[in-house]
Amino acid sequence: MGIKEIKERIGAAAQKSGRNPQAICLVAVSKGQNIEKIQQAVALGQIDFGENYAQELLEKAPLLNQSNIHWHFLGHLQKNKLGKVLPLIEWLHSLDSFELAQAIDKKATKPLKCLLEMNLSSETTKSGLSVEQALEIIPKLKELSNIDLRGLMTMAPHPYFKKLFELLKTINQRYLYPKPLTELSMGMSDDFEGAIEEGATIVRVGTAIFGERK
């Protein structure tokens, strides 16, 4: 279990960039990992966990409901799963359309912390919004009281981290949302240190903590 080592590496990367390590949230990506490994991580003080698939989250969450876990949903969230998934999650990293935002707004019983998923590499096989789509959607989200937009997320690798940081700055400079967006979810097991140096506030680390998935 590599939680301690990852937290030390996060601390070192933050200090190298003149940032406070406490301002960076480590999301332990537990997809494909068993309950015992998640419980070990909880015992070591880890609170934030990420899942990519609704079915897996629905199976795990009830078995861990005493653990004070904050669940982050990272994958594509289908509208027909909202009723079951929304009560379990604190964060959605993969908001990728205004239609999904509207569906969440109708189903949710409280505001959901959301990040817009960005496809900065313009790969048609990847999900996420283009810059133009994001700039169009963000002003409309303020109409939805159950969407609490906090920032941006990308699955893209290191060359795109700076671009995401610059986009967040642009959004805030243009006052497209009623409050400043402060969160950048970027960086995984192979490149989270580089992401922190480029401004990440949330890093998503799986195999470097838990080992290979089953």
Residue 43 backbone dihedrals phi, psi, to 5 degrees = -65, -25
- pLDDT of 88 strictly over 70: yes
Q: Tell me the pLDDT tens digit for each residue of 10-65.
A: 999 999 999 999 999 999 999 999 999 999 999 999 999 999 999 999 999 999 98
Output the pLDDT for position 212: 85
Q: Tell me the pLDDT tens digit for each residue of 108-153.
A: 999 999 999 999 987 776 789 999 999 999 999 999 999 999 999 9
The architecture in CATH of the region 3-210 reads Alpha-Beta Barrel (3.20)
Written in H, E and C, the secondary structure of the chain is CCHHHHHHHHHHHHHHCCCCHHHCEEEEECCCCCHHHHHHHHHCCCCEEEECCHHHHHHHHHHHCCCCCEEEECCCCCHHHHHHHCCCEEEEEEECCHHHHHHHHHHCCCCEEEEEEECCCCCCCCCCECHHHHHHHHHHHCCCCCEEEEEEEECCCHHHHHHHHHHHHHHHHCCCCCCCCCEEECCCCCCHHHHHHCCCCEEEECHHHHCCCC
Instruction: Report the C-alpha dihedral over residues 44, 48, 49, 54, rounded to 10 degrees.
Output: 150
Output the pLDDT for position 26: 98
Q: Are 28 and 206 in contact (CB under 8 A)?
A: yes
Q: With a threshold of 0.85, does the pTM exceed it?
A: yes
